[in-house]
Amino acid sequence: MTLLISKTGIEIEIPEINRVERDAPYRWLRKGWSDLKVNPLFSIGLGIVFVAAGYLASYAVWQAPWALLTAATGFVLVAPVMAIGFYAVSCAREQGLVPNLAQAMRCWSGNGRSVLLYGLMLFLVLFFWSRFNWLMTALMMDTAGGVFAPDLAMLVSSAQGWGFIAVYAGVGLLFAIAVFAGSVVTLPLMMDRKIDPVTAAVTSLNTVRRNKRTMAQWAVIIFGLTGVGIATGYLGLALIFPLLGHASWHAYRELVREKEKGEKGDGGIIV
């Protein structure tokens, strides 16, 4: 374990991070596909539930463009929470258990309170992100209350529209990078060990810091496959989302070093 010492003098033990090779994401996808094939009805069934939720969310916010933007980018934020079932199934298979939800729940470390707290934190961030989207739409598109019928032609045929697209794309990219870095191994870690959300998020950031190129490649794969799924009218996500969920568990297993009994901190990191 690495000892993290804050300026307030609080000591936090964070797990050690492994360095992985550049082609590791493809191995995670292969392992995820293997998990998916063991119980495809369960995994794809969960995927279909999320596709239906995506349709409902899009229908509910169709007349509010800022809400559409929130729904599109917010998927990156809430996806790790929605993928908990896939993490649990992969964990169950890893332990030789029947990969169904009942057996998968045995993989939990009894850390449900921290997982719930982290989920609430993510939805709180999503709320503030939605408020930001509303404000940006209202200011840049000169709309009353940020509500109007979405008109793609208006966006791509005016300087104002292209300015909005450019600003939103830039801000959205930074937001997505920050969310990815802070959550890439956070939930699998909290499911696997009794660890608090802050320590888990710090571990996730440390994971990205120590494997910058590999994690950048993993992020591109995740966003690219998600984009393909959305481009198919969400239908492709019924397969893509379970695949990424299972693969993310294997990413966690390779990136975060297993805790050894009696392990102590190997030094201090001042933050």
Strand pairing report for 11-14 and 268-270: unpaired
Residue type, 55: Y
- Under 8 Å between Cβ of 207 and 184: yes
What string of pLDDT tens digits covers the 271 residues of the chain? Answer: 554 444 444 556 778 999 999 999 999 999 999 999 988 888 898 889 888 877 777 776 665 555 666 666 666 677 788 888 899 889 888 888 766 666 666 666 677 788 888 888 888 888 888 777 777 776 666 554 444 444 555 666 666 667 777 777 788 788 888 888 999 999 999 988 888 999 999 999 999 999 999 999 999 999 899 889 888 888 899 999 999 999 999 999 999 987 654 444 333 333 3
Would you give the distance in Å from CA 153 to the centre of its chain? 32
The model's pTM is: 0.79
